[in-house]
Chains A and B, each alone.
Chain A
Amino acid sequence: MPVTRSDWANAGALLGACLLALACGWTRAGTAGPAAGASGPAASPVRSADGSWVASGPYRRIISLDPAIDDALAEMGMATRLLAVSSWSYAHGSRARLLHQVPHQLPPGAALEDLLALHGDLVLVSGASDPLRSAQLRAAGMTVFNCGTERTAADAAQALRQVAALLGAGALGEELASRFLSRLDRVRDPRLPPLCACYVAIYGGELLGGTAGTTYHDLLIAAGLSDAAALHGWRDWPTYHLEDLVAMGPQVILTATGMGATLRALPGAGRIPALAAKRIIEVDPELLSLTGIGELEAAEAVAAGRRQLP
């Protein structure tokens, strides 16, 4: 194939455009070096879960888009520093009363402009947030700290330590995190035998699970149960078929309130030991979905259900 003058011209233009685009994007802003704190003298920077560094400081106008961390802030007596929280925070947790005093409530999917108009000095986001949204907030001059995904109790404790350190209360955060983990460890009743269990919820005919790498796994373990799905190699939030449950053969099913009867009515449900023996723990779905230190309350509810099993 002969190379013509137009080929050279087009190839040159393409190369030039690519180099120019690369030059425009080639800045590591927001991913390296400590960012400036909002006020007061900047102390040691804390590494955010997305890799950026944020200076610790006495932040007092905090916008929290991470419901999992709100409970921890309330527990540390820092609810008054919250300027705005996600509307999810109001619905969950025993510390909801404290969070009700927060001046602003942000609806799910709040617009970027709404956030900026609040003029907060720190934005806390979860690991589930869109990285581009964080980049936009940083580009607009806001200090953004990513608390991580908080999928497990260990993640929640780590996020708590990090946020406490960020707010200049590292020792308090360390104490609270240790207390949370040790209390979670003491939830189980050691007199009860370790039954094999599985978390399943049913929505629209789909059997949705939650196992290793999620809070559901932690809840089962904390209540003195072993996670059958994790033992069979499942991870995260899988979608099961009934045969998968039969293969796992759980002796106990953990599910949301009201779903036990639906699960028992499934054709073939009698092959699953937990459903055949009616060993089902039903827990308020809002409690089950709690992450962060609220997980402790959910674990206590599961353990209470475990004690009442036939």
Chain B
Amino acid sequence: MRMILGASLLLAVAAAASLMTGPVGWSDLDHQLLLLRLVRLLAGILAGAALAVAGVLMQGLFRNPLASPSVTGVSAGAALGVELALMGSVLMPGLLTILPAACLRPAAGCAGAALALGCLLAVARRRGDITSVVLLGMVLSMLFSALGAYLLSLANDRWELGRILVTFTLGGIDTATGRSVAVATPLVAVALGASWCWGRTLDVALSGEREAASLGVDTVAMMRWALVWTAVLAAAAVTLGGGIGFVGLIVPNVLRAYLGPGHRQLIVACALGGAAFLTAADVCARVLHPGPGEIPLGAITSLVGAPFFIWFFTRERAAGRL
């Protein structure tokens, strides 16, 4: 409970800093600017919570603290979907009139994630073992990343398209709109609730697939739905923030060291901790850039996340906890 309170406090501090940080001073802030900052804050909270909880689900499902949504290919699938939608919106502007602009990115992200998920579930249905799912997930991740790189190379010939795709790949929540946040909110909220409901089952599954099955756990259903909710969370996060890495690795591992492996408590703490981490990273992206402009959020999370994770991993390994 103390950790959850601590994470809530961190989130409150990060949120206050986020609302107060920007090129326009606090005294000159009108309701429109405040609304903009609020939308950005909400986007950070949703994306951070989604990424961290997706990490908890993956690590619980694969019983491996180094697992993350990217292992299943779901993040890469969602990113590929969004990149295709961005290309479509530039090459065929009429596409935007068929589907509302706010729905285009989430729909494309969910479609990409669903494609990756469909492949995974097909394997899970036949083989049912986690090793096969992990292997296929890694292959899918590489495949979708390669396709994304190909799209980027195609976009090089069109300056405006290349710029949009590179910005998306670098990650950032500065382009979030009220409507994109509104679209992502029910997806993230329901997925968080469902993940919490699967918490007890994931706790039992920590003892191993066979042991869990002998205790009456439907491991196939657990795997199916853990993957589905991971896909929803990853797709929502990708559509809101693009390529943001490390949140799903850092936040669950840090909090698990203090809270233990119980999933329900961990999911609540990670939702708050992930939101606080990404909001704080977004504040850093705005504050640390010399001159006007911002550091890409994906670069900040990676710059902070990579060394932190190496330190954390070494420490935990030395203590025999990993």
Contacts and interface: CB of A to CB of B under 8 A. Distances in A.
Given A1-B220, A22-B103, A110-B292, A116 B190 contact: no
Contacts of A21: 103, 106, 183-187
A166 to B, nearest CB: 19
Interface stretch (A7-15, A190-198, A258-266): A7-15
Interface stretch (A156-164, A230-238, A246-254, A272-280): A230-238
B158 A31 contact: no
Given A4-B221, A24-B179, A127 B24 contact: no
Interface residues of B, number: 59
Interface stretch (B6-14, B30-38, B54-62): B30-38
Contact of A111 (B96, B156, B292): B292
Contacts of A110: 292
A238 B193 CA distance: 49
Interface in B220-238: 220-221, 224-225, 228-229, 232
Interface string A102-126: 0000011111111011000000001
Nearest to B156: A239
Interface stretch (B139-147, B159-167, B205-213, B312-320): B159-167
Given A21-B186, A50-B96, A10 B101 contact: no
A251 B3 CA distance: 73
B90 to A, nearest CB: 8
Interface stretch (B67-75, B170-178, B263-271, B303-311): B170-178
B158 A236 contact: yes
Contacts of A51: 93-94, 96-97
Interface stretch (A33-41, A130-138, A220-228): A130-138
A139 B177 contact: yes
Contacts, number: 153
Nearest to B35: A140
Contact of B89 (A18, A131, A236): A131
Interface in B248-295: 291-294
Contacts of A10: 194, 225, 228-229
A7 B220 CA distance: 11
Contact of A135 (B101, B125, B183, B232): B101
Contacts of B16: none
A245 B186 CA distance: 54
A129 B160 CA distance: 7
Contact of B157 (A17, A22, A25, A235): A235
Nearest to B188: A17
B182 interface: yes
B33 A17 contact: no
Interface size class on chain A is: 35 or more
A111 B174 CA distance: 9
B36 A140 contact: yes
A7 B33 contact: no
Contacts of A6: 218, 221, 225
A25 B158 contact: no
Given A24-B185, A116-B36, A128 B163 contact: yes
Given A10-B228, A18-B187, A20-B186, A117 B33 contact: yes
Contact of B22 (A111, A131, A140, A149): A111
Contacts of A140: 32-33, 35-36
A267 B60 CA distance: 58
A17 B89 contact: no
Given A114-B292, A238-B157, 11 more contacts: A10-B194, A18-B187, A25-B106, A31-B97, A51-B96, A111-B293, A112-B174, A114-B23, A132-B177, A135-B101, A239-B156
Interface of A: 1, 4, 6-7, 10, 13-14, 16-18, 20-22, 24-28, 30-32, 49-51, 107-114, 116-117, 126-133, 135-136, 139-141, 149, 235-239
20 contacts: A4-B221, A7-B225, A14-B232, A16-B190, A21-B184, A22-B103, A25-B182, A26-B103, A31-B100, A110-B292, A111-B293, A111-B294, A112-B36, A114-B23, A126-B160, A132-B101, A140-B32, A140-B33, A236-B158, A239-B157
